[in-house]
Structure 1
Amino acid sequence: MSGEHTPPLHTLRQGFDPADELRAAGGLTRITIGSGADAESTWLAADHAVVRQVLGDHRRFSTRRRFDRRDDGGGPGLFRPRELVGNLMDYDPPEHTRLRSLLMPAFTQRRMRRLAPLIDEIVAERLDAVERAGPPADLIELVADVVPGAVLCELIGVPRDDRAMFLQLCHRHLDASLSARRRAAAGEAFSRYLVTMMARERKDPGEGLIGAIVAEHGDQITDEELRGFCVQVMLAGDDNISGMIGLGVLALLRHPEQLAALRGDDRSADRAVDELIRYLTVPYAPTPRTAMEDVAVGDQVIRKGETVLCSLPAANRDPGLLPDPDRLDVTRDPVPHVAFGHGVHHCLGSALARLELRAVYTALWRRFPGLRQADPDLPPAFRTSTPAYGLTSLTVAW
């Protein structure tokens, strides 16, 4: 029917799985993103080996080239829109190396472990809310849509009194069901708040991520870079973890034999979380890569200036990565999946993501050992209007 919106191939899902059309695309296939004047032809990579090759080769596949194709050298003439300054995914080395080296100490496993008691406290408070609300209770509304934002506010250092407003602006900016004008207005207000926060942290650094970076590297990083990095952290971390919480709980409810791993030691719980991350892979694709020169990928040559979009869900269900990839098996040894990306742009917050997910999954079944879907015959309400896949609701009883 003319006028219908056709979702891009790389975003198509069937329940927990990548859509058959996406998986049939193979190593590399040509697709068109957008329509009309905004239509753009790109390569789509769906095989694990191809995705790792493209994401792992930052010299020949750039994340920045899409901003100004006239900039052949990436020198002083480099164009970068204001809202992307500080977003690590939009930098190549050596710019990327400099900025990431300043930010990485805030995401060490040691620092993440110090956040663990705060994460446990946030999760416990949300499970209290679940208990008060039900049964039945909507885990998406009460847990999945709240925990990630609260944790990120703790990480960044957003004062408690500001968090509800701050997160509302973040969610509105992400919500594709809103008009472009409303999303832009929310994004501008979100950005203005961060600018004010930067000024405050420069004067009196707090204990959050911004305060720590300012205290240690204040003269090496600009407010605009810090603001852009915080935008990236909030927009990526909130949506991805929300999607993983909802889908992970539903997957475990449908595979109750897998729950024993979450009740075991830390190693078995960590392995279970990693397998859920691989199996579900909620981000559709990272920043497109643009070839800086002609590059042979398998038996295909990607010409200079052409872009490649990498499907992370399809790559993580590739039989070349592991046997029986469509089976959820939380006892598997971890495999080199690409749910957090690969190469120099591997997700800086991956340790935090794993910590949050383990806290939620383990605490949920410890509190509600009889957890079940309130209406198992009701089809899941999958979320497709935000940058990461997920559920719009999941009503449970116990």
Structure 2
Amino acid sequence: MSASSEQTSYESPAGTATSMSRVLPTDMTERPAGCPFAPAPGLERRRGDGAVQPLTLANGAHAFMVTGFDEARAVMGDQRFSSDRVRYPDASQLQPHEVAALAERGETPARAAVEERTDGMFVFMDPPEHTRLRRLLTGQFTVRRMKALESRVREIAVEHIEAMQAAGTEADLVPSYALPIPSLMICELLGVDYADREEFQHNTHISLALTTTDEERAKARAALYGFIQHLVNHKRQNPADDLLSGLVHDAEPPLTNAQLVDVALVLLGAGHETTANMLGLGTLALLDNPDQLAALRADPSLIDNTVEELLRYLSIIQLGVTRIATEDVTVGGVDIPAGTTVVIATPEANRDQRHFPEPDQLDVHRPRSPHLAFGHGIHQCLGQQLARIEMRIGFAELFNRLPNLRLAVPVEEIPLRNDMQIFGVHALPVTWA
């Protein structure tokens, strides 16, 4: 899981959360073929325009984009910037005609009069509602518990490498390795039957695709909710030693069905989608930088550094972390009026040259320093320790057991996830013969 869990969002029946990436200008997210690690052209052109700068969304709404590391941390750590997309409407959720009508009247989206949040989309909540749900989950994601899962992660990694070897000398690493590791782990942690993963992953893919129609997205989200609702009902009747059973039976006061479904959707979606893309894109980055891969092979103790550097360098979130100013706030010398949507440009903040010398270079020897791949503040990713374990073991086992691993096609032929909210590769053909 990563900060992109805030993007891996699903609209509840009450309309709690929607993705904003589809209304970003395409030049802010689409990377050229053969250049998967370069910033999107629109971001690159804006370098030097300030750490906080105006941004016009594709729907015509005016927002601010934060590209500076310090400024991004300031926004994510300041409770004057809300995550609550129900009470404080995100301008990116508006249709173009709604933006035009508001502009004609000289208005901004009105704050909704919501007495109490009854959903479970905790990533889009503020305290105290966020605090209660977050506290219920924090105990499930302790460092000790995550470390206890290391042997299981290694078993899964080895099993899938051996399966690839048994099948021949070539494979698509995404379905054969990158996706199964986090998918199996989050399914086991939540108590989901792994045999049901394909249905969930299919509908998740549709929900996160930027090219999906509203009708297709609504159908996929309804299917996701039905899937999780069935699972929650099953856990009520058949509790087991898993995270979801604990939430169903042990929460005080008890969570409603709607809250349980929302929480499970966030965890299940974020738990496989983000880390799977880090494993796939991270492998491509190391294969495309043979000097860095050679350094890691020569000194396996660099694996922790390598994981942190890949998290910084790749920043797979597609500009989707947003906050809404609840009052007039000044950030980086720029005045942000109350009601304004602020977009955190994580890929740029993680390449802020004020913090990272030669930020566009992948350097596994780079001294470890804070990055924003897992967010910052009260919404920092709950599952970051599990994600780190999956990446550390996933990369180490892959390159140790397949010493001749290399791309089976030129980099230019690797299909990039420019059409998705979370960046990565759709496929990664490799060979080890």
1:42 aligns with 2:76: no
For structure 2, the residue ranges without an aligned partner over 5 or more in a row are 1-22, 91-108
How far residue 227 of structure 1 moved from its aligned partner, in angstroms, is: 1.2
Q: How many corresponding residue pairs?
A: 384
Corresponding position of 1:195: 229
1:206 aligns with 2:246: no
Secondary structure (helix, strand or coil) at the match of 1:290 reads: strand
1:26 aligns with 2:66: no
How far residue 265 of structure 1 moved from its aligned partner, in angstroms, is: 7.9
Partners of 2:351 and 2:88 in 1: CA distance: 28
- 1:1-398 matched pairs, under 5 angstroms: 7-13=25-31, 14-23=35-44, 24=47, 25-35=49-59, 39-57=60-78, 59-64=79-84, 65-67=87-89, 69-71=109-111, 76=115, 85-217=119-251, 219-259=253-293, 262-263=296-297, 268-376=302-410, 378-398=412-432
How far residue 28 of structure 1 moved from its aligned partner, in angstroms, is: 1.8
Paired residue type of 1:208: D
Secondary structure (helix, strand or coil) at the match of 2:365 reads: coil
1:266 to 1:108, Cα distance in 2 relative to 1, 3 A: farther
Secondary structure (helix, strand or coil) at the match of 2:321 reads: coil
Paired residue type of 2:275: I
Secondary structure (helix, strand or coil) at the match of 1:392 reads: coil
How far residue 8 of structure 1 moved from its aligned partner, in angstroms, is: 3.9
Cα contact 2:89–2:110 (8 A) shared by 1: no
Cα contact 1:263–1:269 (8 A) shared by 2: no
Partners of 1:367 and 1:191 in 2: CA distance: 39
* Larger deviation, residues 282-291 vs 211-220: 211-220
How far residue 31 of structure 1 moved from its aligned partner, in angstroms, is: 1.8
Cα contact 1:8–1:33 (8 A) shared by 2: no
Partners of 1:355 and 1:244 in 2: CA distance: 12
Stretches of 4+ aligned residues off by more than 4 angstroms: 260-267
1:87 to 1:265, Cα distance in 2 relative to 1, 3 A: farther
Partners of 2:212 and 2:70 in 1: CA distance: 37
Partners of 1:284 and 1:232 in 2: CA distance: 17
Cα contact 2:184–2:194 (8 A) shared by 1: no
Cα contact 1:137–1:395 (8 A) shared by 2: yes
Partners of 1:384 and 1:207 in 2: CA distance: 39
RMSD: 2.5
Cα contact 1:194–1:227 (8 A) shared by 2: yes
For structure 1, the residue ranges without an aligned partner over 5 or more in a row are none
Partners of 2:146 and 2:305 in 1: CA distance: 18
Corresponding position of 2:4: none
How far residue 324 of structure 1 moved from its aligned partner, in angstroms, is: 1.4
1:223 to 1:247, Cα distance in 2 relative to 1, 3 A: same
Partners of 1:242 and 1:89 in 2: CA distance: 20
TM-score (norm 1): 0.88
- Output one character per residue of 1:294-316: Cα deviation in whole Å (capped at 9) or x when no partner: 10112210001111000000000
Partners of 1:338 and 1:262 in 2: CA distance: 23
- Output one character per residue of 1:55-89: Cα deviation in whole Å (capped at 9) or x when no partner: 111x21001143385337x761x6x6x8xx32222
Corresponding position of 2:15: none
Partners of 2:212 and 2:168 in 1: CA distance: 30
Tell which has more relative contact order, 1 or 2 (C-alpha 8 A, sep 6+): 2
Secondary structure (helix, strand or coil) at the match of 2:276 reads: helix
1:350 to 1:101, Cα distance in 2 relative to 1, 3 A: same
Partners of 1:294 and 1:182 in 2: CA distance: 38
* Larger deviation, residues 178-187 vs 150-159: 178-187
TM-score (norm 2): 0.82
Cα contact 2:179–2:276 (8 A) shared by 1: yes
Cα contact 2:28–2:41 (8 A) shared by 1: no
1:351 to 1:261, Cα distance in 2 relative to 1, 3 A: farther
Partners of 2:280 and 2:239 in 1: CA distance: 35
Secondary structure (helix, strand or coil) at the match of 1:44 reads: strand
Partners of 1:267 and 1:229 in 2: CA distance: 36
1:124 to 1:184, Cα distance in 2 relative to 1, 3 A: farther
* Larger deviation, residues 118-127 vs 306-315: 118-127
Cα contact 2:296–2:303 (8 A) shared by 1: yes
Partners of 2:323 and 2:168 in 1: CA distance: 46
Secondary structure (helix, strand or coil) at the match of 1:308 reads: strand
